[in-house]
Structure 1
Amino acid sequence: MYKLIIFLLLALPMGVFAQTVTTGTVFDYSKKTLSLPGVSIRNLNSKKSTSTNREGKYTIAANIGDLIEFSAVGYHTDTLYLTNLLNRTIYLPVKSNSLKDVDITAVRMNSQVTDAKDPLAEKYTLLNTGGNLNRKRMTDKVGGLNLNLGYGKYKRQQRKEADLEEKEMYQDEIDENFTPKAITDLTKLEGEELKNFMIIYRPSIEAVKAERPFRYAFYISRAFAAWKKLSPQERKLQDLPKLKAN
């Protein structure tokens, strides 16, 4: 009994001070031999963080099942789900829309790297960032964070939505300022002439964007000067040709 207690007391410090870690090296996705120093690495479970050294190497406390986040200026942030604690080679893809912001002087070539492939690479599960752990998981070799093939489509959709919101904003501004009352006060136009004037000379979104703030009163005055030079026929909206019956 005493021998068992002594054995447990001797083994206790080893269990207390033992710490599981995961290690690896981070490279540029496109330039496979280009190691990345200063990459921020964060264990999303334990909140512990570290960064890669001059050779792109890192060591961080972790357990199987933890999520490890890799982030660097000018690169896509991505997350690794640990299925084991073996040494890994990680590749981060460059942000295509932020190339001008990348400080290439901060990246050094690792002279010790002769082969970007990790012969000890193990299978792992890759998750996209954003906290949504219910997204579809992808499997790949450790040694490269897989690019999300839907990312480009998502960004294009975002740009389209932003463009539509911007156009709606300018359209609302034009509607609020290019009004019948504002035009009548400056030009005394009324009735059919006022209607035709507003259709012909309604300012375009491009013109409003180019001049900020846009001077609507000045624009209406210039448009009215051009209007007075038109012939009576030119001031009328031309009817569309009628379609012939089959």
Structure 2
Amino acid sequence: MYKLIIFLLLALPIGVFAQTVTTGTVFDYSKKTLSLPGVSIRNLNSKKSTSTNREGKYTIGANIGDLLEFSAVGYHTDTLYLTNLLNRTIYLPVKSNSLKDVDITAVRMNSQVTDAKDPLAEKYTLLSTGGNLNRKRMTDKVGGLNLNLGYGKYRRQQRKEADLEEKEMYLQEIDENFTAKAITDMTKLEGEELKNFMIIYRPSVETVKAERPYRYAYYISRAFAAWKKLTPQERKLQDLPKLKAN
């Protein structure tokens, strides 16, 4: 009887410990086999924190219902709601590079350039931002978990905020690159013509998002070639029709 009591007392701390930690491994989202060392993991409920080792593995104190945050330099921050404490695999996507370092010096304005396809154009896809990334299926979500207990609403709100932030980022990028000075330097347009050109040919968020990095100088040259083919009337903004009186 005494031996049984001693065995239970010795086994109790191990059992308690096993139920108050969670473990896992963090990988690069694009390169699934590339583990990530030095990723910071923070328990937003208990404020405990740790980081992954050289193999990308981590162990952190946690309970079911806690929210874990994963962050690393150059990667999107993501969160995980714990519905159990089983070992899991986490994937972090790389952040996209900013276009602010691109320096375009000149573009030749002739038909051979403006009517030709861009041989250097490359397609890039920008992932959603803010820890609310569109993964392939539920099996690609952190740990393949089905988030519930009200957390689904929290995630939807996060996705909505991330979409707004992403749109604002693209609008700011367009404002910084599709400027009156850049257009005038390339096309010599000024005054009312410049204003109309910028309104008619301002690139949309969808257009800029579809091609990364977006080549604004090349786009302006193509738009100017199309502009020169318009009639003087077509280059003017049309007035809105007047409302008929009842």
CA contact (8 A) 2:42 2:70 kept: yes
Confirm or deny: 8 A CA contact 2:38 2:51 kept in the other structure.
Answer: yes
User: 3-state SS of the aligned residue for 2:115?
Assistant: coil
Q: 211-220 or 236-245: which moved more? A: 236-245
For 1:135, what is the secondary structure of its paired residue?
A: coil
**Identity, % of aligned positions:** 94
Structure-2 change in CA distance of 1:134 and 1:118 (3 Å): same
Change in 2 beyond 3 A, CA 1:166/1:52: closer
CA distance in 2, matches of 1:113, 1:185: 17
Deviations 1:86-121 (A, max 9, x none): 999999999999999999999999999999999999
Greater CA deviation, 103-112 or 158-167?
Answer: 103-112
TM-score by length of 2: 0.43
Q: Which shows bigger deviation, 202-211 or 46-55?
A: 46-55
Number of aligned residue pairs? 246
Q: Which moved more, 1:18-27 or 1:168-177?
A: 18-27
Change (3 A) 1:139 1:150: farther
User: Which shows bigger deviation, 4-13 or 212-221?
Assistant: 4-13
- The answer as to whether partners of 1:34 and 1:110 remain within 8 angstroms in 2 is no
In structure 2, how many angstroms separate the alpha carbons of the residues matched to 1:123 and 1:231?
Answer: 33
1:76 corresponds in structure 2 to 76
Work out which of the two has the higher radius of gyration on C-alpha atoms and give 1 or 2. Answer: 1
Q: Is the 8 A contact 1:124 1:140 kept in 2?
A: no
Contact 2:19 2:63 in 1 (8 A): no
Moved over 3 A (4+): 1-149
Distance 2:221 2:176 in 1: 17
2: distance between equivalents of 1:24 and 1:186?
54
- Conserved in 1, the CA contact under 8 Å of 2:43 and 2:66? yes
Q: CA deviation at 1:245?
A: 3.7
1:242 deviates by 1.8
Distance change (3 Å), C-alpha of 1:210 and 1:240: same
Q: Partners of 2:134 and 2:23 in 1: how far apart?
A: 26
Distance 1:120 1:183 in 2: 21
1:131 and 1:6 map into 2 onto residues whose CA distance is 47
Change beyond 3 A, Cα 1:141–1:29: same
The answer to whether the 8 A contact 1:65-1:81 is kept is yes
Pair 1:137–1:102, CA change in 2 (3 A): farther
CA contact (8 A) 1:39 1:72 kept: yes
Secondary structure (helix, strand or coil) at the match of 1:126 reads coil
- 1: distance between equivalents of 2:139 and 2:208? 50
Listed as ranges, the gaps of 5+ residues in structure 2 are none
1:215-241 CA-partner distances (Å, limit 9, x unpaired)? 111110000000011111111111111
CA distance in 2, matches of 1:80, 1:210: 29
Deviates more, 1:202-211 or 1:39-48: 39-48
TM-score, with length taken from structure 1: 0.43
**Cα distance in 2 between the residues matched to 1:158 and 1:101:** 29
Deviates most, 43-52 or 163-172? 43-52
